[in-house]
Amino acid sequence: MKKLENRVALVTGASRGIGAAIAERLAEEGAHVAINYTSQRSLEKAEMLKEQIENRFNVRAMVVKANVGIKKEVDHMIDEVEQTLGNVDILVNNAGIAPFESFMKLTEETWDTTYQTNVKSIFLTSQRVAKKMIEKRYGKIINITSTASLLVTSPVIPHYISSKAAASHLTKALAIELGKYNININAVGPSTVATDMCQEYLEDPSILEKEIQANPMKRLGTEKQIADAVVFLASEEAMQINGHLLMVDGGLTVKAAQPEDHLEQERELLL
């Protein structure tokens, strides 16, 4: 029997990048998967992932559009998932944005959208799925935060970094609140992974090299490594792990920052 046989999982922001890898790995372990996305341009990618998952892993999958920062859309998304796949057993709050704006140019709109997508979404989705999880006395909620939850990482984008610290602390608060119902709430904190989110930043070869050298493992992380950690936290092997921030970062957050870890060039990119 597979680790997550017949569980129902909802992965937010699963049309591409880390979320797509998470959806795939959960399905590989036997879970039926709902793939959330938000922008029309990602519909095709999400549909392709659904087809691929169904063909390869013999599970059910669905695609569901919603902006996870808007309550009405979140409620509608979860209604749809419940009707199609059943009650959500595993919620992965992966959707996130990291607008590259320096502090002095940061607009109120960017601040609000970042917090809406990276923090408020966790409140909205978790509260909605927790109702059924409490009744069932079973649930796993996994939030994708970042090394930025713990450190001021590069590039220095204060709205993003502080939103990830908030998401991490929210994870801990919910773990205390919901643990008594046999709901585990944990977070996974990736270091840099070369997805669309970092494309512009990593385009510069010297920045890419700096990222690699700053990491104790001397390499970037991969989408699959993050997905493997999510599978572990969603499995029964992790049933006593609650309120934990599992860093998948090659040891970056246990290392004292070195002066060469920050490049002036990178600042120029933002200013």
∠107-111-114 over CA atoms, to 5°? 135
Least distance CB 69 / ligand NAP (angstroms): 5
CB-nearer residue toward ligand NAP: 70 or 106: 70
Angle between helices 17-28 and 223-234 (to 10 degrees): 50
Nearer CB in complex with ligand NAP: 63/175:
63
186 φ/ψ sector (left φ>0, alpha ψ -120 to 50, else beta): beta
Name every residue whose Cβ is closer than 8 Å to that of residue 27 and which is 6 or more positions away in sequence: 33, 53, 56, 57, 59, 61
Q: How far apart are alpha carbons 168 and 187 in whole angstroms?
A: 7
Q: Of 67 and 184, which has the nearer Cβ to ligand NAP?
A: 67
CB of 8 to ligand NAP, least distance (A): 19
Catalytic residue (one of 37, 115, 160, 201): 160
In contact, 20 and 227? CB cutoff 8 Å: no
160 is catalytic: yes
- Three-class secondary structure of residue 91 per DSSP: strand
Shortest CB 180 distance to ligand NAP, Å: 28
Least distance from ligand NAP to the Cβ atom of residue 75, Å: 14
Rounded to whole angstroms, the Cα distance separating 125 from 93 reads: 8
Closest CA to 139 of 93, 95, 104: 93
Nearer residue to ligand NAP within complex by CB, 118 or 184: 118
CB of 209 vs ligand NAP, minimal distance in Å: 16
Structure tokens at 123: 């409140």
DSSP states of 45-87 as a string? HHHHHHHHHHHHH---EEEEE--TT-HHHHHHHHHHHHHHT-S
Beta carbon of residue 267, minimum distance to ligand NAP (angstroms, whole number): 19
Strand 90-93 relative to strand 61-65, pairing: unpaired
Q: Given the rule CB under 6 A, which residues bind ligand NAP? A: 12-19, 36-39, 42, 67-69, 94-98, 117, 144, 146, 190, 192-193, 195-198
The alpha-carbon radius of gyration of the chain (Å, integer) is 18
Q: What residues are annotated to the active site?
A: 160
